[in-house]
Amino acid sequence: MKLFKSLLVAPATLGLLAPVAATANEVTINDFNAAEEIAVTNSRIDGLEARFNNLEAGSFSETTTASFGVDFLVGAVDGASSESATFDYQMGIGLETSFTGEDSLSATIDIGNASSAIGGADGLNFDSTSDVLTLDGLTYTFPVGGATVMVGDNTDISGVYTGACAYSAFTDYMGNCGTGNSVGVGGNGATAAVSYAFDSGFSLAGGVSSTPTALLTEEGSDTFGIEAAYTADSYGLALAYADAESTTYWGLNGTYAFDFATLSAGLESQDDGTEATGFFVGLSFAEVGAGSLDIGMGTTGNFADADTEYYIYEASYAYPVNDSMTITPGVYIREGTTDQTGFGVKTSFSF
């Protein structure tokens, strides 16, 4: 009986509600003005775009540029503690901005995983930051008169040096033409340096680097360096002196461009109570097929007369796939208590 009553009441109820629904629809449609609603919506969109443009324009200076470099390395070393084939990578991010058009504030950020025999310090010396972004240098460079002044943290004194090395090293031992402690002098943290280039091709540069928490005091470590260089169209020479606490260095490197190749050489002496010397010589062939070839040899460090000298030999071929990608296979033989032979293929990207 209740079900029968419900069936009778339902149609009646729907009949009463229908006019009400129709009236509500008429009110809603009549109250809606399409043109006004579109105008309001467009106004809100324009406001959001204006806010976004203001944020975009003010968040990144027009004078700031960013550059990126990535290196992949696959290789192995025969004679190392582990002779397995390995993969290493490193990435560098450079940020640079100018406030006057003549100055430069730059930051370098590195990340890498190098821990293998070929990617480590005894090989190509790739960056190893345990896959963590690390600030590698923060530098401000500005002109004073005709000179260039550089100040920064984690900055090498040699950042303002001219140098005279045209060789493209495959291993770290060949870097700076074997004069990495003098012409390629580094730093202890906080660095200030200045350079001046004469119109005749001569240049002078020098600086000091000190522990940031103990500037120029006995509690910290200090390094002083100075360089004189001359650059001409086909050759160049650079002479440098460095004093790193109780050790002093003299370094000389030079380069000469022949018609078929460019010769680079370096000689460095070290005095820490015992005198030691090291040398380097290399040839760079700019056009070998579609790429360039570098061949070099030198000592693995500075050796005293009483020491047994060890040498390293290397060869590498750089093939540019395009403007932003270069593939460089290379091989080296490093003498030591255990001789090692390493082979690797480095793929470099710049963008």
Over residues 312-347, the pLDDT tens digits come to: 999 999 999 999 999 999 999 999 999 999 999 999
* Residue-level pLDDT at 62: 79
* Residue-level pLDDT at 63: 83
Q: Give dist(CA 233, CA 257) in Å, integer.
A: 9
* Residue-level pLDDT at 17: 39
Greatest Cα pair distance, the chain, in angstroms, is 120
- CB 143 within 8 Å of CB 179: no
Tell me the percentage of the chain whose pLDDT exceeds 90: 80
CATH topology of domain 64-350: Porin (2.40.160)
Q: Give dist(CA 296, CA 282) in Å, integer.
A: 4
Q: Could you state, in order of their start, the residue ranges of all structural domains in the chain? A: 2-51, 64-350
Q: What is the mean pLDDT of residues 224-247?
A: 97
Q: What is the mean pLDDT of residues 182-187?
A: 96
> Looking at the predicted structure, is the pLDDT value of residue 73 above 60?
yes
Q: Give dist(CA 107, CA 220) in Å, integer.
A: 24
Q: Closest Cα partner for 88 from 99, 75, 69, 103? A: 75
Q: Closest Cα partner for 279 from 301, 256, 257, 249? A: 301
Over residues 95-141, the pLDDT tens digits come to: 999 999 999 999 999 999 988 999 998 999 999 999 999 999 999 99
Q: Give dist(CA 97, CA 75) in Å, integer.
A: 37
Over residues 1-32, the pLDDT tens digits come to: 433 334 333 444 434 334 444 444 444 444 54
Q: Give dist(CA 267, CA 282) in Å, integer.
A: 12
Over residues 32-72, the pLDDT tens digits come to: 455 666 666 666 666 656 555 554 544 556 789 999 999 99
Over residues 268-306, the pLDDT tens digits come to: 999 999 999 999 999 999 999 999 999 999 999 999 999
